[in-house]
Structure 1
Amino acid sequence: MASSRFSDKVETLLEAVRSGNLLVLKKVASVLNESKIKGIKDEMGLSALHLGAFYGRTEICHYLIQDLGFPVDFLTARGETPLCYAAMKGCIATARYLISCGANPIVSEKDGITPLHYAAQCGHVKLVKYLLSLGVPVDITLNYANGAPLLIAASSGKASTVEVLLQHHADVNGATSPDHTPLFFSVRAGSLECTRLLIKAGADPNLKCPLGIAVQGGSVEIIKCLLEAGADPNLRNVCGWSPIETAVMCKKWDIVEMLFPLTSPLPEVHDWSVQGLLQYVNSNTFFQKYLSTFTQICGCVA
């Protein structure tokens, strides 16, 4: 029975935090000791302070930190701080408050993701600008294997954020551990606007063969953009496939027609024509030649 009453109080407390009801929160807190309140987590493992930050409840965060003694950089089991959750939602007022209380804007969770990564991924431009104004390195990676904020913003198609990061001199060709670039990821995301911004900033259209992934995605406009920027239509990707081979395999006939006059004849294709390409890609020779590479690089089609 006592356990049930405690569970009810916990849910009431968490709901008060989510909704920003400070009066109810104080009432529940008055019958619980501070250590118990700090140990309360929701079903996702988030403390009251993390929830307050996520929902932009600055007044709630103030009470939890100043009156109940929550550490401003209170960590979840995954190593996330309340500031990370404010960054996810773009709650700039709450983020400012947390930082004024001493929150570390550069601290990362266990995977190396920082508040700037979260803000960039979600396209919260004002928060991105604010964090950069604090001196957070624009290309911060720490131990994050998936890349700098520019790459994260590009992969999410957040053009306004990409533009801000580039204005702050982000490395336009910065690669991740699998050696993919912001341009590669903007193309994969199908973002023509991000692609144009990156190319204008000097992104190499041949680094990591973004043309191949553009062909797979089927965006004629992105392909044109890359070609106009100097993308090599003969450049083979890590699987050994040229863009036109990928187009044939994906049955993108309009793209095949676009690339054919730009592509040098492939020595392995005896009949250099669109029909000859189709026959070659469907042949056992093609299958055997690339089977080993394909199985080694899971999911690589373009």
Structure 2
Amino acid sequence: MIQKQQENHSTAASKRAAQLYFSARLYEAVVAGDYPRVETLVDEGMNLDHCHAQNDPPILAAMRCDHRDAGTMVQLLALSGAHPAVVSQIDGACVLTLAIPRGQLSTISVILEHPGVQIHRPDNNGMTAYRLAEQCAYSPTGEAIFEMIKRHDQLHTPAPASMTPAARLCRAATMGDLEGVETYLDAGGDPDVCDGLHDPPLLIAAQSKHPNARYIVELLSKAGADPNVACRISGDTPLIVAIQRKEVGMVSHLLNNPKIDTHKTDKTGKSAHQYVNRRVAGADGAAIFKLVDAHCRAQTYQSGR
């Protein structure tokens, strides 16, 4: 019995030593930005979350390093079993709060796939991933990250019973909830109502990747929603968004609205008409170009009469 206990103790000690040795090598490889070595170490099947000394877990150390392969290493570790929701014992940072300021769009997309990720957990300075993404949404990449974070929040945070009608409409527009939008509109709700600082429902629907997005845009438009509403951050209108995403049906519907303004510009100074001239690649792009060009010609003809 004593001999068996000694053998078990020896085996456990050997495993601990192996893990410590592995963690030291992985940490060194991550900090050096040595992706091939990290890839080799991952295949050893050891605990990827074990910290070397008092340092951050490898996935956080990878995100902190300035190496060009930092984001790729983080994705490799996350997809290989490292927990992407780990929090630094040093400053309370997580992978998301480190990736957002760096504009690591693909890395953030991978991290958000993990069910344990919390976008409202504050770091030691009280900053959350959600608030940080909102603050960094001053560029096309930053805006895309914020939209991704918002969408994750709306899809994974249960709707409280106290949610306002405006919040419910915006949530329904994001999630492609046709019934939710119809219920709101049938009750006489304002189709242009905004939930705090979020975009107007029509713009949210245009930005949504849900298959029902086009039909929600049509519902809101028929209810009198302003077709020229703009994102407060980028200045994008529903028409600009539809053109960028090459949504032919949505573009056609928006152009049929007599209030549509194809010359309204975003914050870069470009209008829907200018965007369509830059995005004619492919069959959908060509179809959209024809639609917008015909609409503009008709407007010019009408104004000249």
TM normalised by structure 1 equals 0.41
- TM-score computed with the length of structure 2 as normaliser: 0.41
